[in-house]
Structure 1
Amino acid sequence: MKKLMYVLFFVPMLFLAQENKGFILDVTEITVKLGQDASFVQGVKAWKECYLENNGDDKWNMWRRIQGEGSVYVITGRMANWAEFDAPPKDANKECYHVVMNLIMPHVEKIKSSLARSIPDWGSSEALANTGLVWVTNFKVNNSTTFAEVVKDVGAAMVSQGEKRTAYWYGVIGGDPDDADYFISNPYEKFSDLDMDEASVWEVYEKAHGKKKMMETRNKFRGCLEDAWSYLYKRMADLSN
């Protein structure tokens, strides 16, 4: 997305040191005012039309959160490195800024921006075709070293048992004290895919290492967790690019 929402909304971001691996995920969470979803969506459509007419070439995904308080939309985009933040605003952003101010911002209650670094060693390297949904689980941890050890161990057990489930791990870069430290995104094509019966990761781990080892590893994992929560998001194809 290359600074897209930074340019549009002037949301400050906190850049802190992090592992130099994987791409940077730019995440902008937008809470829409009560009863103004339709107007907000029409505003985003108008902005996208303007952006493309002015030869804008950035790529992004727009997601609508299914559960939780309020009406929340999330815009995500990838950057290969920090240098992309140095690029000046493109003409398309400048030409369409009036659409943001007149047709989008009046319907926005609040905006939160965050950054994360993908961790390809922990999850899948290939994208799921036709992703329509993502189930995102967030983890706040008290011991990153132990957390990483367990995630890698469980991942290896999944592979050893032939479980090739698509999943993407991210480490959060800075942010508010209550933010997650890591999150995993599990993609699905459609809602009916959620009805499929699958063994849990701990059932697979037990199959690979036995119940005693599974219990030890699961307790180790729970011991390094401060909190965990998850949301399901639906991709808005007509608002994405």
Structure 2
Amino acid sequence: MKKRMNYVIILTMGIALNWALFSSSIAQTEPLGPLMSVTEFTIKPGHEMQFREGIKAWKACYLENKGDWTWRMWQRQQGEGSVFVLASDMANWAEMDKTDESSKKCQDLARTLINPHIEKATSHVTRFQLGMSKGSALTEDIIRVSFYDLNPINGHRLMEVVKEVEGIRKSAGLEPGGYWYQWQTGGPESPSFHHVMPYKDYAAMDIIQEGVWQTVEKNAGKAKRDELQAAFRSSLQNTWNYIYTLDKDISRPSK
């Protein structure tokens, strides 16, 4: 998210980010996709409005100072507490070396109008997985995010299965419906991968579509479906998901 995040919220809160890189056990067969820097904010009870107003004030200051950073702020719709997720694309790790003079001019607003309303902030970096993800950019305002914590023994099978399943779907004329990300940093409770499924609105969730395993069975047979489904399940230690909506007032998806 570039060093600007240090000036916006992270540094001004005095949070030490100890991002430990982990090596992937999955062979890299695709070109490296871009990175995404993500910060999850848990807001103090009853402080959601003040937090949003603080972000609005910071955003206005940043735009006035001709800042070029872009970001999306998502609000989690389920789970405990009020949670917002700030996501920003990075072409590579080198962007972390850059500083943002525009954000420096607005850091006092972050310190006084945003930070007092935050109970906790957790940051991590993920990498977009090319080949098995949707080719077009995300434009929808609602996403369902599924998180995958890998089994220490069979976890390497997850992406093998995903690649094979997407190959079967592609042969059936179907393109990937969502976006896969591999976590590059994280703590003991962090997942290893997550998948983002976009929707234009909540009504789109009511549309019944052919399931992934139905497609596999239809095009590759029941035996292959059972084989891949078993491998997929054995690769996971835990999985969970949430729905997020884009808060447009405190986002800047494009310049």
Give SS of 1:77's match.
strand
Does 1:5 pair with 2:5?
A: yes
> How far is 1:2 from its partner?
2.5
Amino acid at match of 1:115: V
Task: Kindly state the Cα deviation for residue 197 of structure 1 after the two structures are TM-superposed.
Answer: 0.7
User: Partner of 2:141 in structure 1?
Assistant: 132
**Is the contact made by 1:132 and 1:190 (CA closer than 8 Å) also made in structure 2?**
yes
Q: Which residue of 2 aligns with 1:14?
A: 19
Matching of residues 23-34 of structure 1 within 5 Å:
23-34=34-45
> How far, CA to CA, are the matches of 2:233 and 2:208 in structure 1?
24
Amino acid at match of 1:2: K
AA partner of residue 43 (structure 2): V
Q: Which residue of 2 aligns with 1:174?
A: 185
Can you give the 5+ residue segments of structure 1 that lack an aligned partner in the other structure?
A: none
Give, in angstroms, the shift of residue 211 of structure 1. Answer: 1.5
Aligned partner of residue 120 in structure 1, secondary structure: coil
TM-superposition CA deviations, 1:128-187 (whole Å, max 9, x none): 4x4101111110112343111101011111112222343111110121111100111111
What amino acid maps onto 1:193 in structure 2? A
Distance 1:189 1:196 in 2: 12
- The one-character-per-residue Cα deviations of 1:9-34 (angstroms, maximum 9, x if unpaired) are 22414152556711011000000011
Contact 1:139 1:228 in 2 (8 A): yes
Cα separation, 1, equivalents of 2:177 and 2:4: 27
Secondary structure in 2 aligned to 1:162? coil
1:212 deviates by: 2.0
RMSD: 1.5
Indicate the larger mover: 10-19 or 94-103: 10-19
Q: Which runs of 4+ in 1 moved over 6 A?
A: none
Q: Which amino acid aligns with 2:3?
A: K
Q: Is the CA contact 1:64–1:234 (under 8 Å) kept in the aligned structure 2?
A: yes
| 2:130 aligned partner | 120
Determine if contact 2:2/2:97 at 8 Å carries over to the other structure: no
Establish whether residue 39 from structure 1 lines up as the match of residue 59 from structure 2: no
- d(CA) in 2 for partners of 1:209, 1:78: 36
Aligned partner letter, 2:44? K
Instruction: Describe the shift of the 1:13–1:240 C-alpha distance in structure 2 as closer, same or farther (beyond 3 A).
Output: farther
SS in 2 for 1:122: coil
Aligned residues: percent identity?
37
Equivalent-residue separation in structure 1 for 2:7 and 2:222 (angstroms): 52
Deviations along 1:49-101, whole A, 9 cap, x unmatched? 0110011110100000011000000000011111111112x221111011111
CA distance in 2, matches of 1:31, 1:2: 22
SS of equivalent residue, structure 1 residue 199 = coil
State the one-letter code of the partner of 1:25.
Answer: M
* 5+ long unaligned stretches in structure 2: none
Asked whether the equivalents of residues 77 and 245 of structure 2 are also in contact (C-alpha less than 8 Å), the reply is yes
Aligned length: 239
Match of 1:160 among 166, 171, 180: 171
Measured in 1, the distance between the counterparts of 2:146 and 2:4 equals 25
Supply the AA of the counterpart residue of 2:141: G
Q: Is 1:60–1:76's contact at 8 Å kept on the other side of the alignment?
A: yes
**AA partner of residue 179 (structure 2):** Y
Q: 2:91 aligns with which of 68, 73, 80?
A: 80
Give the Cα separation in 2 of the matches to 1:113 and 1:37.
19
| Residue 4 of structure 1, CA deviation | 3.5
